Structure 1
Amino acid sequence: MILNIEAYLHYYFEQPSDLILQLEASKTGQQKILNANIAFSKIENFVRVPTEAGIGDRLLLRTEDHFSCRYTSRIEIERKPTDIASLPATPIHLLPGEAIRYLMPSRYCPSDEFQAFVSSDFGNLNGGARIAALSEWIHDHFAYVPGSSNAQTTALHTFVQRRGICRDFAHLLVTLARASAIPARFTSVFAPFVNPQDFHAVAEVFLDGAWHLVDPTKMAHQEDIAIIGVGMDAAEVAFMTSYGFAEFREQSVSVSVEA
């Protein structure tokens, strides 16, 4: 599958400000960058640095006044769908070192507070069967409501309020997976069937020796997802982090499947 992607940002900065951007689709074994371009308004000190996980890059730059960024790319996805429910868990003592950190609680994913819940309500299931059941439970019991959460909303808030957006759905699944002793990470992505079109978020879980994408909103599917980056939670893979007040002017994302 080939995706055509375009993302546009326009913000106003009254004072000179430093930015960290992470909004380009990454090059991985399952997705190939056929072509890509990123263009900015006037900026200073542009630097490209790798992420801790080695998936995608962070862009460091300095700007002021009106800042705009346009990213376009053509991506070939070569990822085959996997039946998550059929996959066994990898025992903790056999996990690779890079997966261990994704067992731990994080700012938006207080997994240690959910161990009793997953044990009592999903204790009869293990590995991928539990992940599939958790994802289905989130989809069936939580409302997707744009504007219902903010930058302070954690998985615990979402669990109580029973509503949120893709970011919140992903945080909750990551949290419940970690509470089940299954490594899970927050993954920022582009996907063509997200409504409304925007930067999207899903979970990735480590099962049967590999990472597997799971979207509890059911708007994105393994075979049509272009990964941007991964992290413990949204704080590590925000598309833009500004060190200075950013006044929103315009933002758009378009992802389409090439015929």
Structure 2
Amino acid sequence: MRVQVQSRLAYEFPEPTETIAAILAAHAPGQIVESETLTLSDGVRLAESTDPVSGARLLRGPLNGRVTLGYTAVVRIAPRLELPPTLQVAPWSQLPVAVLPYLLPSRYCPVDQFLRFAAREFGHLQPGGARALAILDWLHVNLDYVHGVSTGTTSASDTFIDRAGVCRDFTHLGMTLCRAAGIPARAVAAYALALDPPDFHAVFEVFLDGGWWLVDPTRLAPIGGMVRIAHGRDAADIAFLTTAGMVTQTEMCVTVIDLDVKPPLDKPSQHPNTVEEAATTC
């Protein structure tokens, strides 16, 4: 599958502020960046750094005043399989060292608080794919996707109580339950085809049978149409913008277009109601 991703972000910085932006498509297994364009406001200079392990590409530097970041890329995505229930999880002693941190508590994922619940709710299931799928089903049944319920400080514990949130909240609680059930899980930031309304999307991966398997706990977008940006322990590691000071966001527009689908010959000139139509509003 070939997709075009676009993002446009605008901010106001009251003073020079060190900034890290994660909006570029990663150089990661399963996807190839065929072409891309990064547009910055006049006078803005950001250095690009690539994580040699994850392939995540970060833009870093001080920003001041009104700043606009624009990014467009064409990415080829390899086919992805849905998570099979037959996959197994390895004993901790046999896991790669790099995977071990994704079993542990992190800023938004207090795993130790969910050990008893995970054992009672999912302990009767075979460790591995079956248990991970049961956790995803539990999220689907027990959580409502609602904007405005959570904030940037909401943890998995808060979401467990509120039983509502957005993609980052579903991901934090899903990862917490997986880790508590003995399954390594890490957060993934992505551009997501068919996400409505279009936005940066937070999903996660589980490590089973020696590999990472991508899942969407919200069930709002197909995993086959996701373009990876970064991965980490939780949202603190994969935020699309991290700053050392105050900043005000004044604009954000994200779109993903399936380039393998031909647009209709006669497109109605109305308000956009599909991802393809929304692309013209950025």
Q: What is the TM-score normalised by the length of structure 2?
A: 0.89
Deviation, 1:50, is 2.8
Segments ≥4 residues shifted beyond 3 Å? 42-45
Deviation, 1:44, is 5.0
1:92 counterpart residue number:
92
The aligned runs of 1:22-171 (5 Å cut-off) are 22-44=22-44, 46-51=46-51, 53-125=53-125, 126-171=127-172
Structure 2 CA distance for partners of 1:83 and 1:205, relative to 1, 3 Å? closer
Give the aligned residue type for 2:20.
Answer: I
Deviation, 1:59, is 1.1
Superimposed CA distance per residue, residues 152-173 of structure 1 (whole angstroms, 9 cap, x where no aligned partner)? 1000000000000000000111
Deviation, 1:247, is 1.3
Deviation, 1:45, is 5.1
Deviation, 1:84, is 3.1
Q: Does 1:21 align with 2:25?
A: no
CA contact 2:22–2:58 (8 Å) conserved in 1: yes
Q: Secondary structure at the match of 2:158?
A: helix
In structure 2, distance between residues paired with 1:28 and 1:140: 32
CA contact 1:53–1:231 (8 Å) conserved in 2: no
Q: Secondary structure at the match of 1:74?
A: strand
The aligned runs of 1:217-232 (5 Å cut-off) are 217-232=218-233
Unaligned segments of structure 2, at least 5 residues: 262-282
CA contact 1:185–1:231 (8 Å) conserved in 2: yes
CA contact 1:84–1:131 (8 Å) conserved in 2: no
Deviation, 1:219, is 1.4
In structure 2, distance between residues paired with 1:180 and 1:144: 24
CA contact 2:9–2:251 (8 Å) conserved in 1: yes
Deviation, 1:18, is 1.3
Q: Does 1:182 align with 2:183?
A: yes
Deviation, 1:136, is 1.1
1:252 counterpart residue number:
253
In structure 1, distance between residues paired with 2:252 and 2:13: 15
In structure 1, distance between residues paired with 2:186 and 2:238: 11
Superimposed CA distance per residue, residues 26-73 of structure 1 (whole angstroms, 9 cap, x where no aligned partner)? 122210111111111135552222337433111111121101000100
CA contact 1:186–1:202 (8 Å) conserved in 2: yes
Structure 2 CA distance for partners of 1:208 and 1:16, relative to 1, 3 Å? same
**More deviation, 36-45/167-176:** 36-45
CA contact 1:190–1:227 (8 Å) conserved in 2: yes
Structure 2 CA distance for partners of 1:210 and 1:27, relative to 1, 3 Å? same
Give the aligned residue type for 2:150.
Answer: S
In structure 2, distance between residues paired with 1:60 and 1:40: 13
**More deviation, 19-28/77-86:** 77-86
Unaligned segments of structure 1, at least 5 residues: none
**More deviation, 27-36/199-208:** 27-36
Larger radius of gyration: 2
Structure 2 CA distance for partners of 1:109 and 1:43, relative to 1, 3 Å? farther
Q: Secondary structure at the match of 1:81?
A: coil
Q: Does 1:233 align with 2:234?
A: yes
In structure 2, distance between residues paired with 1:40 and 1:148: 33
Q: Secondary structure at the match of 2:85?
A: helix
2:4 counterpart residue number:
4
Q: Secondary structure at the match of 1:86?
A: coil
